[in-house]
């Protein structure tokens, strides 16, 4: 028991930092929307905040991986937490919307760099045998933040105002940075002698070709990566962009009913993550990835064909419940098959491609919804999602590739 407690000391500290940061992000996101809406009275100005994140990812991820793989991950994570905390604390002091957009853009750039940095650090910190359990707990923490963050934000709005909520998120990120200071310095004396120096355009180009070469040599691994990202991030995100319009125009829901529908999804995410944390050791990664994606797509199809609150709620709960299963399997597969020393470059470059596809598919679905109808668009998107999910299931269950899913 003592050995188990000691082995999970640092993972537990890391999960605490992630949880605090994620809760703070939800508080900040909701509060900033209200602040900008109050400043301008324009929903269009608020929608601009949603465009900034993929734009920041596009601007950042084609070069960030080259930096991430060559610097100390722990120190960089601390720096990113602290710089985001400072910038977020400055937001309530700004009265210019363009200036707020600029600062939010920089904050999202830092967040885009934090993701591949933390993924690499987690892979190096967590032993291979413990990664599935850690990833399931990671999913539980982020799922809990999905419910706790908005709830805390709502409570703060009752007793104070969105500005206080913004400051609380800044404090949360600062606290997350302090927690990271307690983590071990895994790369002390292990990084290339060049460190973070000599970063150049030539190096970025070289790294792009290196990732391309790796993708050609590991075609199967990158096929699973691409299929999963396309199904669970690109297509799911594009369908989600029509969620509010679907609820209002197709289901004729009130604001409170729509809020309840979102709460059902949140309950599904948390319930799935809790059960997943107990069952994850008994389910193979190939089943988690393939079957998990298919069931999530099935939930989207139920939602797409629904014409009542009850049917839509069932679809929402099913898709939300199985998201943690699919994500846990994919993260473990990713950590087992992508070398840690180039994980930053692979993750960043593929995230860059992912962001372009998100912008493209979201714009396409929005245009189709405008020309035809919202429900037909969501149905078509869900059917395409199921089609690629079935391909992913077939690919992931290939007997000749079973060794790639085994936790060593």
253 and 355 in contact (C-beta within 8 Å)? Answer: no
Asked whether residue 112 is assigned to any structural domain, the reply reads yes
| Same domain assignment for residues 139 and 209 | no
Asked whether residue 343 is assigned to any structural domain, the reply reads yes
| Same domain assignment for residues 221 and 175 | no
Q: Give the tens place of pLDDT for each residue, 309-352.
A: 999 999 999 998 999 899 999 999 999 999 888 888 898 888 88
Task: Please say which residue of 151, 185, 219 terminates a domain.
Answer: 185
Across the range 276-303, mean pLDDT stands at 92
Asked whether residue 408 is assigned to any structural domain, the reply reads no
| Same domain assignment for residues 166 and 226 | no
Non-local CB neighbours of 301 within 8 Å, separated by 6+ positions: 315, 379, 382, 383, 386
| Same domain assignment for residues 154 and 266 | no
CA 205 – CA 213 distance, rounded (Å): 12
| Same domain assignment for residues 345 and 222 | yes
How far apart, in Å, are the Cα atoms of 77 and each of 46, 52, 67? 29, 22, 13
- What total number of domains does the chain contain? 2
State phi, psi for 283 to the nearest 5 degrees: -115, 130
Asked whether residue 192 is assigned to any structural domain, the reply reads no
Which tokens is 377 given?
């668009």
| Same domain assignment for residues 157 and 213 | no
| Same domain assignment for residues 166 and 91 | yes
What's the pLDDT at 195? 45
What's the pLDDT at 217? 92
**Range list of H helices, 91-130:** 97-125
Residues 408, 341, 128, CA angle at the centre, nearest 5°?
20
Non-local CB neighbours of 387 within 8 Å, separated by 6+ positions: none
What's the pLDDT at 105? 93
CA 183 – CA 22 distance, rounded (Å): 18
CA atoms 28, 30, 33, 36: torsion sign: negative
Which tokens is 230 given?
């396309």
Greater pLDDT, 262 or 251: 251
| DSSP class per residue in 229-255 | HIIIIIIHHHHHTTHHHIIIIIS---H
Name the residue among 250, 242, 10 with its Cα closest to residue 125. 10
CA 404 – CA 221 distance, rounded (Å): 8
pLDDT over 70 (residue 191): no
| Same domain assignment for residues 5 and 109 | yes
Asked whether residue 407 is assigned to any structural domain, the reply reads no
Percentage above 90 pLDDT, the chain: 29
Residue ranges making up the domain that contains 209 = 205-396
242 and 365 in contact (C-beta within 8 Å)? Answer: yes
| Same domain assignment for residues 165 and 267 | no
What's the pLDDT at 194? 43
Task: Please say which residue of 124, 151, 185 terminates a domain.
Answer: 185
Across the range 213-228, mean pLDDT stands at 93
What's the pLDDT at 47? 67
Asked whether residue 324 is assigned to any structural domain, the reply reads yes
């Amino acid at each position: 028991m003592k050995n188990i407690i000691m082995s999970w000391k640092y993972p537990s500290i890391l999960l605490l930092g992630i949880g605090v940061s994620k809760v703070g992000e939800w508080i900040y996101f909701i509060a900033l929307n209200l602040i900008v809406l109050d400043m301008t009275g324009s929903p269009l100005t608020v929608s601009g905040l949603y465009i900034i994140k993929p734009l920041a990812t596009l601007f950042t991820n084609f070069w960030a991986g080259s930096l991430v793989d060559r610097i100390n991950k722990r120190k960089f994570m601390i720096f990113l937490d602290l710089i985001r905390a400072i910038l977020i604390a400055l937001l309530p002091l700004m009265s210019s919307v363009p200036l707020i957009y600029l600062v939010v853009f920089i904050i999202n750039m830092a967040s885009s760099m934090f993701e591949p940095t933390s993924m690499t650090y987690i892979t190096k910190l967590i032993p291979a045998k413990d990664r599935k359990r850690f990833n399931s707990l990671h999913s539980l923490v982020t799922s809990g933040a999905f419910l706790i963050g908005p709830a805390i934000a709502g409570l703060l709005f009752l007793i104070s105002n969105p500005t206080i909520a913004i400051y609380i998120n800044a404090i949360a990120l600062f606290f997350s940075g302090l927690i990271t200071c307690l983590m071990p310095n895994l790369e002390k004396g292990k990084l290339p002698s060049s460190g973070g120096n000599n970063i150049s355009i030539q190096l970025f180009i070289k790294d792009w070709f290196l990732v391309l070469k790796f993708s050609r040599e590991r075609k199967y691994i990158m096929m699973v990566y691409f299929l999963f990202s396309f199904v669970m991030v690109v297509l799911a995100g594009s369908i989600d962009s029509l969620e509010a319009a679907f609820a209002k125009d197709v289901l004729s829901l009130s604001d409170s009913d729509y809020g309840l529908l979102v709460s059902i999804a949140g309950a599904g995410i948390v319930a799935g993550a809790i059960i997943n944390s107990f069952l994850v050791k008994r389910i193979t990664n190939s089943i988690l990835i393939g079957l998990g994606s298919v069931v999530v797509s099935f939930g989207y199809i139920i939602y797409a064909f629904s014409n009542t609150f009850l049917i839509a709620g069932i679809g929402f709960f099913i898709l939300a419940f199985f998201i943690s299963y699919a994500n846990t399997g994919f993260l473990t597969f990713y950590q087992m098959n992508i070398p840690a020393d180039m994980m930053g470059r692979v993750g960043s470059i593929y995230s860059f491609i992912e962001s372009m596809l998100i912008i493209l598919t979201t714009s396409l679905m929005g245009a189709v919804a405008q020309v035809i109808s919202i429900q037909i668009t969501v149905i078509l998107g869900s059917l395409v999602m199921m089609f690629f999910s079935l391909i992913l299931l077939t690919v992931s269950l290939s007997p000749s590739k079973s060794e790639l899913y085994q936790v060593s």
